[in-house]
Structure 1
Amino acid sequence: MEFRIKKAKLNDVHAVAALIRAVWEQMDNREWFVMDEADFLKDVLESGRGFIYMAIDAGTEKLAGVMDILTPGLEKDNLGYDAGFREEKLLRTAHVDSVAILPEYRGMRLQAILMEAAEQELAVKGYRYMMCTVHPDNSFSRNNMVRQGYRAVCRKEKYGGRIRDVMLKELPGII
């Protein structure tokens, strides 16, 4: 199966949010995933504080998965603070905010494919650090991130008291 990776535009936000909701609704452990809503995604795109990649099934044109990336700068929710970063590193830190893949497309490396696209774009833009959070019991997501070069830097409460492992990957220079 082949996929096209493209960046979402404002008119894609509702489809992206619907896919995220569909994935969340099918989860056994919903506390493992904080679902992004359409208004938040729209704000990310309009403000320029990030971007969204979409994986589209090339055969059916169906949206198969999404990944939204945040570039928080010096905002207080920058995960770089959890890694002890100072201003210079904070400004070069991006977050994988959400990844959602429809069940029928899992096991096809879509998360890795989306991540590679995001990391390449961010490296070209001068970002050096990618961060994300994972619920400690979500071994599938945690193992995916470790395979992609992430390591845990701390475990703490995030998102209104939910325990998360804060993960970090240092990007090479331009990929």
Structure 2
Amino acid sequence: MKLLHEGTITNQVLHKKLPFSMKRLYLEDLPVIEQVQAKVMESLSEKATLQALTTEEFLFILNQKGLLIGAFVENELIGFRALLIPEIDEEHLGWDIGLSPEELPKVIYQEISVVLPEYRGNRLQQKLAEVIMKELPNLEDEFRYICCTVAPMNIPSLKDKFTQVMYIAALKEKYAGLVRYILVKDLENPVAHYTSHVTVKLDDLKKQQQLLDEGYVGIDFQLVHGFYELQFAKPVL
């Protein structure tokens, strides 16, 4: 099995540094993938912040419709990250960010990213993102847009996406009524320039929607007097 990354990671319970590695996951890994997802979901105080994948969705990805990268300590899977090639239907995120029908096949989703509680605080989500994005060109199709959804109060996931220079392009109801940010990164124009910067409280979704309607996008966030504020700006076209 080809190793994609090797390093050391701290187990926060044992307070011990351990060697770890990353590799691509396949169909035979499905049982342990679902076990890790279940453990992570069980550890969350707010279950709605993470949209778990179904067995059918994992099978879809593992059957050449995406990519799964796993992180291992010895032979134990401690986290994974997924890319999904979506079917083009009415729920496609490309519609939400204003893409034309011709551009929809160029979209791939950053799907679920999970890390077992005892290995959090190691920037493992970010490392998994770096490795999986390096593997993206090895897929058969070519993609221009990386899209994903994030719950408005999911601080770690927002931080992860902004670190990847993704931006909030829309705020929509998805997954049967759950409000989600739609984030995107244009691989052909990965570094944009912005003007007219504005900050908005993280829980002020009405103001955020107004700014998005006016052509602003969400580009970062910051902690101000103990509260998170999102930074919005207008792209310079």
Q: Does TM, normalized by the shorter one, top 0.5?
A: yes
Q: Secondary structure at the match of 1:164?
A: strand
Alignment of 1:144-155 (within 5 A): 144-155=160-171
1:84 to 95, 98, 102: 98
Identify the structure with the greater strand proportion. 2
Answer yes or no: is 1:43 the counterpart of 2:60: yes
Q: Deviation at 1:22?
A: 0.6
Q: Deviation at 1:12?
A: 0.4
* Structure 2 portions without partners, runs of 5+: 1-7, 9-18, 190-237
Partner of 1:16: 33
Alignment of 1:22-171 (within 5 A): 22-46=39-63, 48-57=64-73, 60-125=74-139, 126-171=142-187
Instruction: Work out the CA distance in 2 between the residues paired with 1:64 and 1:43.
Output: 22
Greater Cα radius of gyration, structure 1 or 2: 2
Per the alignment, do residues 172 and 62 of structure 1 end up closer, same or farther by CA in structure 2, a change over 3 Å counting?
A: farther
Q: Secondary structure at the match of 2:48?
A: helix
Instruction: Work out the CA distance in 1 between the residues paired with 2:31 and 2:102.
Output: 35
Instruction: Work out the CA distance in 2 between the residues paired with 1:56 and 1:172.
Output: 32
Query: Contact 2:65/2:85 (CA < 8 Å) preserved in 1?
Result: yes
Query: Contact 1:67/1:114 (CA < 8 Å) preserved in 2?
Result: yes
Choose between structure 1 and 2 for higher RCO, CA contacts under 8 A separated by at least 6 residues: 1
Per the alignment, do residues 64 and 34 of structure 1 end up closer, same or farther by CA in structure 2, a change over 3 Å counting?
A: same
Q: Deviation at 1:118?
A: 2.1
Q: Secondary structure at the match of 1:43?
A: helix
Q: Indicate the larger mover: 84-93 or 21-30.
A: 84-93
Q: Deviation at 1:120?
A: 2.0
Amino acid at match of 1:121: E
Amino acid at match of 1:14: P
Instruction: Work out the CA distance in 2 between the residues paired with 1:3 and 1:88.
Output: 41
Q: Secondary structure at the match of 1:89?
A: helix
Query: Contact 1:82/1:166 (CA < 8 Å) preserved in 2?
Result: yes
Partner of 2:192: none
Q: Deviation at 1:112?
A: 1.4
TM-score by structure 2 length?
0.67
Q: CA RMSD in A?
A: 1.8
Q: Secondary structure at the match of 2:110?
A: strand
Identify the structure with the greater helix proportion. 1
Partner of 2:203: none
Q: Percent identity?
A: 29
Matched pairs, number: 170
* Structure 1 portions without partners, runs of 5+: none
Amino acid at match of 2:185: K
Query: Contact 1:123/1:171 (CA < 8 Å) preserved in 2?
Result: no
